[in-house]
Chains A and B, each alone.
Chain A
Amino acid sequence: GAVVSQHPSRVICKSGTSVKIECRSLDFQATTMFWYRQFPKQSLMLMATSNEGSKATYEQGVEKDKFLINHASLTLSTLTVTSAHPEDSSFYICSAQSERTYEQYFGPGTRLTVT
């Protein structure tokens, strides 16, 4: 149980285009999901908290107009990187929180490369 999927696992896009990443909790409902990014050999940095049916809460320094988050259902949250630039290249990881235990379960990550 407690499986989280992400799609795509890897994406290469050209500078200026937008990319959408999906995060799904497969066998449990998640009112709250989280989006992180990780640069090589660094720790995970929280970008935003995604709440079903309401606006996401962004961490300080994260541009909400650049990283659009939509939590449309209890099992799906999406992150759209708009007008991507090479500096947006990173590993993006989502997590879904168990409503019963508050334990977070992580997706396998999406490696974004912007050329």
Chain B
Amino acid sequence: GIQVEQSPPDLILQEGANSTLRCNFSDSVNNLQWFHQNPWGQLINLFYIPSGTKQNGRLSATTVATERYSLLYISSSQTTDSGVYFCAVGAAGNKLTFGGGTRVLVKP
């Protein structure tokens, strides 16, 4: 099956800092999603981005499908950005395979 690797596994940031999270995958995909899991366990959809670039406020994401990676950018980080960020990939209409996640802690 498809392999998904996220880096770094852990990230500690000072409030206001910028950061980049990476997701590498082993095969062609038609579906790629980024999620933020809050402390209560809820997965919040950040981006549906099988290719291209999208921005939503302080967050943006870029997927280069031909090179099998995606990047999530967090700018001007806030303490509420803390949590685990997951990348998940799959074929369109099919199941998602999750990466191991990046655990982010933003310190005030």
Q: Are A43 and B96 in contact (CB under 8 A)?
A: no
Residues of chain A lying within 8 A (CB to CB) of residue B45: 2, 103, 105-106
- Per-position 1/0 for A20-52, Cβ under 8 A of B: 000000000000101000100001111001000
Classify the interface of chain A: helix, strand, loop or mixed: strand
- Interface residue tally on B, bucketed by range: 20 to 34
Q: Are B95 and A49 in contact (CB under 8 A)?
A: yes
Q: Are B99 and A43 in contact (CB under 8 A)?
A: yes
Q: Are A108 and B41 in contact (CB under 8 A)?
A: yes
Chain A: CB-nearest residue to B97: A46
Residues of chain B lying within 8 A (CB to CB) of residue A46: 95-97
Residues of chain A lying within 8 A (CB to CB) of residue B92: 102
Q: Are B100 and A106 in contact (CB under 8 A)?
A: no
Q: CB within 8 Å of A: which residues of B? A: 30-31, 33, 35, 40-43, 45, 48, 86, 88, 92-93, 95-101
Q: CB within 8 Å of B: which residues of A? A: 2, 32, 34, 38, 43-46, 49, 91, 93, 95, 97, 101-106, 108-109, 111
